[in-house]
Amino acid sequence: MRRKRVLSFIALLALAVAAALVVLPASWLAAALPAHWPLAIVDTQGTVWKGTAAVAIGPAHQRRRLSEPLRWEWSFSRGPQLAIQHRWLSGPLTLALTPTGLAVSAQTLSVPAGALATLDARLAAVGPEGRLTIRWPTLRFSPSLPAPGTRLLDAEWRDAASALAPIRPLGHYTLSMTAGDGSSELQLASRQGPLLLEGKGGFNARQGLDFTGTARADPTANEAVHRALQDVLGALGPRQNNVTLLRLR
């Protein structure tokens, strides 16, 4: 008799847990992201299985909310899969749970360059303009980290411009992210244009972003171009020997 009561209690408990999981509020997703990440989920609606939310990007003290909502939905017909949709994505982004870890589908994200202003107050002062495209291949994450040098992400800032300079465009820039030893490594390079940006750094889940670099006018540009870039260079950071020092963390 006692055994039957125990089994009945376990069955009722399992049923209650299952019912709770079905209606688990989407707000629980907001707590899943570390506070120091440059991304947060706000104003959630629905459940963790299907819902919408606004996304805010930037450091915790100056995040800006994106106007378009993020939508997600789980499916289980081919194993646990989470499909994420947003207007800036070229198609659904799929996260699939596999026996060996997590698989993330290849995707392209097209973002107004003004979103860069959310990363740092100095970038906000520059008033970035242009087209920002972020691409990544199919990625697989498992208990073992990706091999160092594995390509994780590529970003391009085309037709770069600033509200502080009349020059259009200022340049064309690329940023690559590759797997490193315990963290991701970042490399910024200039492809063309009178404003030269260079730098490197890293990102990891515990400490977030740590990036250092330089900004300067192309030495071969004429004096008028150098004068036109002074406000931009002054807004980006301190100057040393006609070079602006960049630091994001």
Q: Is residue 16 one of the residues assigned to a domain?
A: no
* Same domain, yes or no: 140 and 172: yes
Q: Is residue 20 one of the residues assigned to a domain?
A: no
Number of domains in the chain: 2
Distance CA 127, CA 116 (A): 9
* Same domain, yes or no: 66 and 112: no
Contact yes or no for 95/73 (Cβ under 8 A):
no
pLDDT given for residue 30 in this prediction: 61
pLDDT digits (tens, 9 = 90+) for 139-198: 887 777 777 888 999 999 999 999 999 999 999 999 999 988 777 899 999 999 999 999
Angle at 245 between CA 241 and CA 246, to 5 degrees: 165
Whole-number percent of the chain with pLDDT over 70: 82
* Same domain, yes or no: 132 and 245: yes
* Same domain, yes or no: 230 and 114: yes
Q: Is residue 241 one of the residues assigned to a domain?
A: yes
CB atoms within 10 A of CB 99: 6
Instruction: Look up residue 224 and give its two tokens.
Output: 């008028």
Residue 154 structural domain: 106-249
Q: Is residue 172 one of the residues assigned to a domain?
A: yes
Instruction: Look up residue 144 and give its two tokens.
Output: 């073992």
Q: Coil, helix or strand for 92?
A: coil
pLDDT given for residue 105 in this prediction: 92
* Same domain, yes or no: 245 and 164: yes
* Same domain, yes or no: 59 and 133: no
Say yes or no to pLDDT of 98 above 70.
yes
* Same domain, yes or no: 118 and 61: no
Distance CA 165, CA 248 (A): 22
218-221 contacts at long range (C-beta below 8 A, 24 or more positions apart): 218/193, 218/194, 221/194
pLDDT digits (tens, 9 = 90+) for 128-139: 999 999 999 998
Place of tokens 């805010």: 56
